Amino acid sequence: MQLNFNTILRNKIESSDIYETLKHAKNYFSADVATNAIGFISIPIFTRLFTQEDYGVVAVFSSYIGIMAIILSLNSYSAVGRYFYEKTDDFGEFLGTSFIFVGIILSVSISIYIFFYQKINNLLNLPGFLPVYLIIACIFEIIRSVYAQILVPQKGSRELALVAISEGYIRFVIAVILAYLLKENRYLGKVWAVLLIGLFFSFYYIKRIRHFFKFSFRKAHVKYIMNYSIPLIPHNLSGIILTQFDRIMINNILNSASVGLYSLGYNVGMLLLIVNRATLTALIPDFMKFLDGKEYERLDILMEKVFSIGTVAALGLILFAKEIVLILVDVKFHESLKVIPIVVIGYVFHEMYQMYGMYPGYKKLTIYTSITSLSAGLLNILLNAIFIPRYGYLAGAYTTLISYLFMFFLAWIIAKFILNLRVSPLWLFWKPTLIMLAFTAFIYFIKGFNLSEMYLVLIKLILLAIFCFIIFYKEIANILIITNDK
């Protein structure tokens, strides 16, 4: 008996490589959507509870967490996820060695931190006891990262999603309550919430992964950790520098109020990462599998589809940034709207970088990843130092965009010409990007005609629909073929 249309379509979709990737991406995406929904909810709440200065202080504190977690631990916790793919029978011993090694390094580095506390405090430019709170937050971040590194290779996307959602919403509720109760320095409400919930969930993370743990301290494992993690320090630091250090520089060069405006716009633009993180995280296992099997064409098709999804999300965010800001943001933060499109385009280039940046990781030649990130990070710092004093906080968005473009180009050169690997063609990524930029330019051209907001929204929806059709016309054509064959 002939299968009905729905069965044929479902079987065709489920047999494709993108289906398996998107199945797990859905869970990561759901977690990011749910936790970033807090971001949407929190924007109208915190932009009314917080002054521009409060918003800036929280942004700078959050920026330091990732940076200090890497510095205090020498990034020694980041090898756990990669060792899982080695498919050996001693992962428990490796995890035990990792915990002990991280503990030793943290003990030494925190002692140094305390000894030079006053000088470090002046350098960080954080008020009150925030430098102390920062150490605690870093420890919780390291524990969370190890937990995630263990679950991702096992495709434990559902659990990661549920935990991330729970942690995010509980932290949000406590932050709002504490900030509301405080009469001054309301930023402390959000900081204290990070610490309280971090402590609670750290106990959960340790309990959840303890059955993997076997007490051990092997020299071979320490060598693996150092060979993998130490070269990644510049890369991981540079990645945070590119996303967060501009806030720190704006805080030191200008003021925390400027950081607040910049961070609000940047955070809206970073909503693109909801899609990018979900799809790229889900892509990693298949990326490894297809390279191992030399199935390059399947990998090209999968990477093209994953990237195309990101460009659709990017265009949608650019087109409707104004509506998002007007609906969610208190009027004193509306100036931040001009930051959003620049940030979104920057993250399109960042996704290109991530696509090519996976190749050195696959070959375990992370030194090249660090060279790429460090070069881009230094470029970003240099450009920020030159242009932020001249043009204000908006320069931070442009310098980040330029740095991501440079980062992508360098990663492509390293993967293709230095490592001499067979990589996915550039055109797979540039084609949707150029079309997206053309659509973006067109909408800014249309805005010059002073059309009513209702007409503009309608035009934006039509443009987004046309873009989706252009990008996914092959998939649409396949569905139409199945329909005709019914």
* Confidence grade of residue 473 (pLDDT, cut at 50, 70, 90): confident
* Confidence grade of residue 327 (pLDDT, cut at 50, 70, 90): confident
- Cα–Cα nearest to 126, from 15, 252, 6, 10: 252
* Confidence grade of residue 107 (pLDDT, cut at 50, 70, 90): very high
- Cα–Cα nearest to 136, from 161, 160, 118, 113: 113
Exposure string (b/e) for 338-367, b if CB count within 10 Å is 16 or more?
ebbbbbbbbbbbbbbbbbbbbbbbbeebbe
**Confidence (pLDDT) at 13:** 45
**Confidence (pLDDT) at 281:** 76
Distance, CA of 71 to CA of 77 (rounded, Å) = 11
Distance, CA of 93 to CA of 97 (rounded, Å) = 6
**Confidence (pLDDT) at 157:** 62
Taking only the tens place, the pLDDT of each residue in 248-286 is 888 888 877 888 888 888 888 888 887 887 788 778 778
**Confidence (pLDDT) at 382:** 93
Mean pLDDT of the chain: 83
Q: Note whether 249 and 388 are within 8 A (CB).
A: yes
**Residue that wins the pLDDT comparison between 65 and 240:** 65
User: In whole angstroms, how large is the CA radius of gyration of the chain?
Assistant: 23
Residues in CB range of 207: below 8 A, 6 or more apart: none
Domain that holds residue 479: 5-485
**Confidence (pLDDT) at 485:** 55
Q: Is 273 left (phi over 0), alpha (psi -120 to 50) or beta?
A: alpha
In order of 52, 247, 462, the CA distances from 394 in angstroms are: 16, 11, 30
**Confidence (pLDDT) at 3:** 47
- Cα–Cα nearest to 307, from 399, 401, 408: 408
> pTM for this one?
0.71
* 3-state SS string for the chain: CCCCHHHHHHHHHHCCHHHHHHHHHHHHHHHHHHHHHHHHHHHHHHHHHCCHHHHHHHHHHHHHHHHHHHHHHCCCCCCHHHHHCCCCCCHHHHHHHHHHHHHHHHHHHHHHHHHCHHHHHHHHCCCCCHHHHHHHHHHHHHHHHHHHHHHCCCCCHHHHHHHHHHHHHHHHHHHHHHHHHCCCCCHHHHHHHHHHHHHHHHHHHHHHHHHHCCCCCCHHHHHHHHHHHCCHHHHHHHHHHHHHHHHHHHHHHCCHHHHHHHHHHHHHHCCHHHHHHHHHHHHHHHHHHHHHCCCHHHHHHHHHHHHHHHHHHHHHHHHCHHHHHHHHCCHHHHHHHHHHHHHHHHHHHHHHHHHHHHHHHHCCCHHHHHHHHHHHHHHHHHHHHHHHHHHCCHHHHHHHHHHHHHHHHHHHHHHHHHCCCCCCCCHHHHHHHHHHHHHHHHHHHHHCCCCCHHHHHHHHHHHHHHHHHHHCHHHHHHHHHHHHHC
* Confidence grade of residue 345 (pLDDT, cut at 50, 70, 90): very high
Residue 5 has pLDDT above 50, yes or no: no
**Confidence (pLDDT) at 26:** 54
Residue type for 84, please? Answer: F
Distance, CA of 411 to CA of 351 (rounded, Å) = 11
Residue 328 sits at the vertex; the CA angle it makes with 325 and 332, to the nearest 5 degrees, is 70
Residue 2 has pLDDT above 50, yes or no: no
Interval 437-462 mean pLDDT: 91
**Confidence (pLDDT) at 418:** 92
Taking only the tens place, the pLDDT of each residue in 12-60 is 444 555 445 545 445 555 555 666 667 667 777 887 888 888 888 888 8
**Confidence (pLDDT) at 33:** 61
Residues in CB range of 297: below 8 A, 6 or more apart: none
* Range in 23-27, 73-77, 228-232 with the lowest mean pLDDT: 23-27
Residues in CB range of 399: below 8 A, 6 or more apart: 246, 380, 383, 384, 387, 388
State both tokens at 427. 């055109």
Distance, CA of 333 to CA of 267 (rounded, Å) = 12
Residue 10 has pLDDT above 60, yes or no: no
Terminal Cα distance for the chain, rounded: 13
Distance, CA of 276 to CA of 307 (rounded, Å) = 8
**Confidence (pLDDT) at 273:** 80
Taking only the tens place, the pLDDT of each residue in 117-137 is 888 888 888 888 999 999 999
Query: How many domains does the chain divide into?
Result: 1
Which percentage of the chain shows pLDDT scores above 90?
A: 33
Give CA 253 to chain center in angstroms: 26
> Other C-beta atoms within 10 Å of 219: how many?
8
Taking only the tens place, the pLDDT of each residue in 387-444 is 999 988 899 999 999 999 999 999 999 999 999 989 999 998 999 999 999 999 999 8
Q: Is 452 left (phi over 0), alpha (psi -120 to 50) or beta?
A: beta
**Confidence (pLDDT) at 406:** 95
